[in-house]
Structure 1
């Protein structure tokens, strides 16, 4: 079975990814969930996580998981993308709006609020969506700039996403701000947690040169990340930035390495607040991986 670990909750206890069971005729996607248990008397230290494999309804992509092990993702079903939630051993479809064609769930906070987007084919636009935890079975359009999508929702209700050519943040008081930088003609958001967001800005066309940055959501100010990074995959609540093959601590860069002979191409997808990184390594096949104390 091939697979990748794609996201980790802030505590580092829960990890989610996608695997593929392949035979001569077909390749079946699987939802992979790892859950650790706290090791006493050392809080914050977790025993080797146990793996759960979910085959029902063939989820094809997992996007996020919260500190209670609730995961969200999307699957291509009936010629459209539909969002799902995995909770307490059960995978369910999330409700969708009748006015959209494809719907994606992208982020979840500790309360269980979920955000994402709906694509409207008639206008070739997108709608930022919220599935509120306190109103089960409902989906709402977020009041946001035109052509918006919601990428992340923080524990205080702050929503971060992209609107048109710029990143945006919607604060708990419903006010919105651009996430940009002086001289930038566009910006994009990759991830957010705590008081930080990461992504890229550009001074030319969206297909041109770009600079990877980290925003302080308290001030809206962007600063460049270590130039050795080639992408911003994730950020934790301490502001530590994960690139595809290295972790940027601001004062130092830690490379993701492979300690197993024959393993190559380490790739990081998510970082927890304790520095645990999840991703994949590639030897004879793509395999889930985690790196401790990065």
Structure 2
């Protein structure tokens, strides 16, 4: 059951959930593939909120993100959840030593949100999670200087990293906050002796880890102390991983030749394949549906892929911009959209019609 104790719960009105006028139609190239017509709907904001966006999904109609009341406002920026016609406001970290805004790293089917808060004095991050309707700090390793979360699974395991000082300098250590051992943090072992961050966790507990190597990053899979390196495509030296779901991994790969980066999908066997026209993928669901930005030179076209094959595209309208961030297991995609010109971000979900 979703945690709601002490949180602000507001029933969403039918009017606020009404679909935006006009659907986002696929381009001609996508239409040749019998693509969807993606129909957008704006998620509601509470009174006084200026902007918001979706950055994570529970896969079954729940969307987490942040809303903002303005940088100088008392409310600040807050972690929130939209689910089943209800709006839950988890707020930010109620601690005067922290700024009054947070970022969100993930959400699970229980409605638990993992995120990061930022200290007032130096801006360094601290890992947080929602519990009993509010955000609270997660424990850190001994001698920690900072911490951050990057993902959560339905079991409640949270992953991220804790920064410590090694040889006089900052060093990020990949960690998991295990749900079955509340109040503890565990450093992942068996990985190369280098800085690393746990950037995602699958439902079976497999953790996706980025490990520093030379002047780049290399992806690893970690589970129960067993480690497997994912191979890089030929000529690649650096990977920014973007997600893991049902054994598949996506990321952005840079090449030694200096060519533009490419979006890559690793299948369940760990084989990498370039995503067709993928410029910057951002999310993947359990069925291998990927969302992200295409290679269109306008930077105003986003794609929905099945595996590495582009299925449909969504583009800016003359009066509205958009950005896709997550691919939900229920077939929806989500992110933000805004009016042109000078519109503020609005949390938006697109459905295939």
TM-score for both structures, normalised by structure 1: 0.86
In structure 2, how many angstroms separate the alpha carbons of the residues matched to 1:178 and 1:22?
Answer: 42
For 2:79, the equivalent position in structure 1 comes to 31
2:234 maps to 1:182: yes
For 1:41, the equivalent position in structure 2 comes to none
For 1:51, the equivalent position in structure 2 comes to 87
TM-score for both structures, normalised by structure 2: 0.72
Residues 143-200 of structure 1 deviation map (CA, whole Å, 9 limit, x = unaligned): 1222111001112111102101211111346132234223322222111111111002
Gaps of 5+ in 1: 37-48
Aligned residues: 276
Equivalent residue runs for 1:58-77 within 5 Å:
58-77=100-119
Greater RCO, CA 8 A, separation 6+: 2
Gaps of 5+ in 2: 1-49, 94-99, 294-301
> Are the counterparts in 1 of residues 80 and 91 from structure 2 also a CA contact under 8 Å?
no
> Are the counterparts in 2 of residues 156 and 172 from structure 1 also a CA contact under 8 Å?
no
Residues 50-93 of structure 1 deviation map (CA, whole Å, 9 limit, x = unaligned): 22223342441001001111110001024331111113423221
Task: Provide the secondary structure at the position in 1 that maps to 2:280.
Answer: coil
In structure 2, how many angstroms separate the alpha carbons of the residues matched to 1:258 and 1:291?
Answer: 14
For 1:105, the equivalent position in structure 2 comes to 149
Change (3 A) 1:27 1:195: same
> Are the counterparts in 2 of residues 59 and 73 from structure 1 also a CA contact under 8 Å?
no
Residues 268-289 of structure 1 deviation map (CA, whole Å, 9 limit, x = unaligned): 1111112211110011211110
Q: Over aligned residues, Cα RMSD in angstroms?
A: 2.3
Residues 115-137 of structure 1 deviation map (CA, whole Å, 9 limit, x = unaligned): 10122343332100110111110
Matching residue within 195, 200, 211 for 2:252: 200
For 1:288, the equivalent position in structure 2 comes to 347
Task: Provide the secondary structure at the position in 2 that maps to 1:292.
Answer: strand
2:303 maps to 1:246: yes
Task: Provide the secondary structure at the position in 2 that maps to 1:124.
Answer: strand
* TM-superposed deviation, 1:230: 2.2
